[in-house]
Amino acid sequence: MKDTSYQPTDRRPVASRQLTSVGRFAAWLVSRGISANSISLASTVFSMLACLSLMGTTWGDGALPRVLFFCGAVFIQARLLANLFDGMVALDSGTSSPLGEVLNEVPDRVSDPLILIGAGFAVGGWPSLGFIAAILAVFVAYVRVLGNSLGERDLFLGPMAKPQRMATLTVACIYSGCVPASWPGGIESAPGFGATTFALVLVVVGSVVTAVRRLRRISVQLRRRG
């Protein structure tokens, strides 16, 4: 049942939503009866595949790790595209609802840890760092939700919000898949020295900075009201 009166109150500003091609594809999805909720759930499936691809880079040799790194990059981007289109389809089809927001947020809280943990177990990875990055990603999202509950909307401050985390890992995957194996961060790197490890370090440091910036924004707004 359509509920055209409901409008989401907390949407991440994404410039690509304004592209004509993106709008047309969202309209095509609506015309095919594909629901926003199914797209949200598909994002988790893509994240699982990204996780398996990254972990799988340690299971073989030759060209296989490179192929799997490229697969990881593709699935990470597919996850982001699903995140983009679920909201657009919900609005275009008039099916936005509070339940839809739950189904939009919960898969994200699963998807981020899956990909980050998978990166920790990739060739040259550092598993503990993947878990730390996953915890911080969830904490950064929690701070945003906390801000919403206190009336501070659109709390999407970076430098390491979800799009930046995924972009960092995508670059690491492409780098690992392209460069000679013996290069720094290449697929012959010792554990803890692969490209995904360096990416996770950036994610961890950036997530701490992001959480602090968001908490500071919340604190400033509360003092102004107080």
105 Cβ partners below 8 Å, 6+ apart?
145
**pLDDT above 80 (res 143):** yes
Token pair of 5 as six digits: 């009166």
Q: What angle do CA 202, 207, 210 make, to 5 degrees?
A: 125
The whole-model pTM stands at 0.92
**pLDDT above 90 (res 102):** no
More confident residue, 115 or 60: 115
pLDDT on residue 6: 56
153 Cβ partners below 8 Å, 6+ apart?
9, 10, 147
Report the pLDDT averaged over residues 95-100. 71
Going from the N-terminus, what domains does the chain have, and what CATH number goes with each? 17-225 (1.20.120.1760)
pLDDT on residue 77: 98
Taking only Cα atoms into account, the Rg of the chain, rounded to an integer number of angstroms, comes to 19
More confident residue, 14 or 184: 184
pLDDT on residue 1: 45
Chain segment 1-42, per-residue pLDDT in tens: 455 555 665 667 676 777 888 899 999 999 999 998 899 999
Q: How many residues does the chain have?
A: 226
**pLDDT above 60 (res 86):** yes
Select from 117, 115, 222 the least CA-distant residue to 170.
115
Spatial contact of 87 and 11, defined as CB atoms under 8 Å apart: yes
Instruction: Indicate the average pLDDT of the chain.
Output: 90
Q: How confident is the model at residue 101 (pLDDT cuts 50, 70, 90)?
A: confident
Report the pLDDT averaged over residues 172-187. 96
Q: Tell me how far apart the 2 most distant CA atoms of the chain are, in Å.
A: 62
Q: What angle do CA 182, 187, 193 make, to 5 degrees?
A: 85
pLDDT on residue 121: 98
Query: Distance of CA 83 to CAs 21, 104, 166, Å?
Result: 16, 8, 12
